[in-house]
Chain A
Amino acid sequence: MGFSPEAVIHVEKKKRDGEYEEIHRSPRSPFRSMLLKDIFLVAMMIGYHKKAREPLKGTFHDLFRASTFNSEEEWLLKSIAITEKRNLDVLLDENEKEILKIAEEYANAGILILHDIIFGGTPGDPLKRIESSVKDILNEIRK
């Protein structure tokens, strides 16, 4: 089905120029070759995993169109919204904005955590650190 063509994913302009730019461009970033959409998704899921959610403040920036999510990514966002609201009503067209708002707020908090993981100064490979923090989930999946 997909999100509507005019729907846009927002981020705080300050974070777009700061954390997003650095993660996207820095040679030290393991995500430097990724699309901003992909960085957004990683940030969102790190925020969700750490139970950190922060409403957007200040000037907003349109990062990309929501219609660029593929169907798997779309259902990831919807699953999070369903779980948050404990209700399937969120799947209605008129609640699309709510799905995106939840995603944006998790990403808003998550991008700071992701930035800290990469540039915070802890030694070692950032990807390995993220991976080790999901060991429990991976073990659960095996069951």
Chain B
Amino acid sequence: MKIYEIELENYRQYRGNHIIRLSTDNTHNLNIILGPNGAGKTNLLNAIDWCLYGDEPSLEKTRPELQQCIANEKELSEKGNVIVRVKILMGNEQPEYSFERTIRISKSSIDAHPEEHEKSWYVAYLEGNNWKSYNGSDWNNMTLFNNIVSDILPRGIRSFFFFDGERLDDFFRRGMEHEVKKAIIKVCQIELLDRCIHHLTDKSAELRKGIRGASSEIEDISKAIDLLTQSKRELVEKIENLSKKITEAEKNKEDIDDKLRKFTKFDVPELQKERDRLEIEIKKIDDKIKDKENEIRRHFASGIIFILGFSALKSAYEMIDQRKKGIKQPRIPPDIREKFLKDLLTCHQCICGTELSEGSPQRESIEKLLNSVKFTSKISDSADEGYYKIANILEKCKKFKSERVELEKEYQDLCDDRKKKDQRLKEISERLKGMPVDEIQSLESLRDSFEDEIRKCIAERAQKELQIKTVEEKIKMKNAEFKKELEKDKKQKKLRLKLELCDKSIKALNGIKEKVAKELRERVEQKTKEYFLNLHWKKEVFKDVKIDENYEISIINNLGTECLGTLSAGERQILALSFMAALSSVSGFEAPVIIDTPLGRISGKPKEKIARSLPKYLENSQLTLLITDQEYTPTVRNNMKERIGKEFELRYDEEEVNTEIVEIGGDV
């Protein structure tokens, strides 16, 4: 899917009518829209969002004076009445969809507030060779328009196709696993499964409440389920809020760290660098501590049953040992004795010649002897086996304690190491707080308070997560009770079947959700690695990219070490772009990609290196870069030349409050 044309009329700084026709050639599918800050690049992206989705997510990046009113200010102040319109033409090998959104704005005087009037929408699509079109005058009633947009690119995942390059770094800051998880989950539309589960749960509650003529036990259980479900919803909401707080605090903390790294006075940057290094090391130690705890737990679980049974094992061993010592070694081995006696009975004659006729006392004596031999030899065989097996187990029990001591020592060493590093972090913090510069002192105190908040929220979240699990167990038990009571009442068979259907579906959907999320995470991991290693200019340095089950991203270099924290800004940008490309490719949608400020906050040589990689980025997609002239140096342009389809320049006239879109070359 490509954007063929964007038409703007009086939208923000685009006064009058402007059309931009993008390159849709399959090999020259890179469009450059160049302009200084404030020229209107971000508002071009906002215009696309406004037309398709009715909102402007990047508005805060616009000049403040242009934020107040969607209509072009100059046009509005001169004419008092303005139509604002954005139209987008999209399609694959030809235009197939046309979307248009319009609003009339008026302003009675200079000081008056702008007023919104008629709103309308228009959508047309190609069916065969004919265009079918629909329009409406109510933005609250645009189901057809919204459905067609959603078929091309659902609202929930547009941010992986239209995005701000400067914000990409957010994914890879410490503590951003939540954002990474959200992105991955969003892109595979797990939301669909969530909606089904949510609606089915509500339906189940509705069916339960609608029960008529049921016993009081059933009603009581039903009420209990309602209360528990409500309790669960409240806990889920609290957890979401805590996660948001943690993300926000992590971001704020990282901002402070950034400021301290760039400080020029005293040894502040060095202290901050040391702190960065220590925090990475502490994270690694925490993982090792967790692994060691699991190892100790596994060792315990496998050995404890024999420790508890030590006295029984020892006692059985001694009994077998006594028996072995007490039995005189027979001259004839057991199996031969048995055969020998059997043969005597068969022949009806003893070895001494005595007759062994049926019922004779001699025969009975030999039969008795045969039975005791069988008996004894079976016990002996078994006891012999037991003797060695139990001896082995007792040996292992002796080792249990020393193995346990060894594991505990290793665990303690890790904890001590962590303590030391924690102590050093405290020292660094104290030194920074003691610096004779107000700004440093207040930054460090603020950082402390963010850390406190993060710690508190993490602890509270863990507690709430445990509470949710308890509530879920109770809901499960109550549902089972409800089902049992319902089964007793034959009149409720229809209801029971409906509830069973809902219940089984919810279970299946949860199972599918878990598997899909895992599969998706693995696919995104694999694609991110593929793109990253393909885009990076030093391929031989990196070996692997991982996204673990906690959605933490790590980069492994060719020495086998994790090195995300030590990537340069340029490398992080490449990683971020790779991640976005992975998300968009795994989503299953083939929408155009628009990146605002793709070279982010990169400066100097790395910028040129990234630019060299960009032509390879999402080669099969139409890619539009909204780029500043500082980013678009002649070297950068040269590196992207082979793929450029069209170049445009945005020229903003401050007096006229108007941006002109001028095509400047690179045409196919």
Contact = CB atoms under 8 A, between A and B. Distances in A.
A79 B308 contact: no
A14 interface: no
Given A79-B316, A83-B312, A127-B297, A93 B306 contact: no
A140 B314 CA distance: 12
A138 B300 CA distance: 13
A75 B466 contact: no
B473 A79 contact: no
Given A83-B316, A130-B304, A142 B389 contact: no
A78 B306 contact: no
B386 A48 contact: no
Interface in B21-62: none
Interface string A116-133: 000000000001001100
B466 A83 contact: no
A25 B470 CA distance: 11
Nearest to B382: A91
B401 A142 contact: yes
B124 interface: no
Nearest to B390: A75
30 contacts: A1-B382, A25-B473, A26-B469, A28-B469, A30-B301, A41-B305, A42-B304, A44-B305, A45-B309, A46-B308, A48-B309, A48-B312, A72-B389, A75-B389, A76-B313, A78-B316, A78-B386, A79-B390, A88-B323, A89-B379, A91-B378, A91-B383, A92-B375, A93-B378, A127-B297, A131-B300, A134-B307, A134-B308, A137-B307, A141-B401
B393 interface: yes
Interface of A is mostly: helix
Given A48-B308, A76-B305, A88-B379, A82 B316 contact: yes
Contacts of B466: 27-28
Interface in B445-485: 466, 469-470, 473
Contacts of A30: 297, 301
Interface string A77-103: 011101100101101110000000000
Interface of B: 297, 300-301, 304-313, 315-317, 319-320, 323, 375, 378-379, 382-383, 385-386, 389-390, 392-393, 397-398, 400-401, 466, 469-470, 473
A89 B379 CA distance: 7
Interface of B is mostly: helix
Contacts of B469: 26-28
Nearest to B401: A138
Contacts of A27: 466, 469
Given A31-B301, A82-B316, A141-B397, A88 B383 contact: yes
A72 B312 contact: no
Interface residues of A, number: 42
A76 B319 contact: no
Nearest to B470: A28
Interface string A58-77: 00000000000001110110
A73 B306 CA distance: 8
Nearest to A26: B473
A76 to B, nearest CB: 5
A137 B297 contact: no
A138 B305 CA distance: 12
A54 interface: no
Given A72-B393, A91-B383, A92-B379, A79 B301 contact: no
B309 A80 contact: yes
Contacts of A130: 304
Contacts of A7: none
A56 B477 CA distance: 24
B398 A141 contact: yes
B388 to A, nearest CB: 10
A99 B402 CA distance: 32
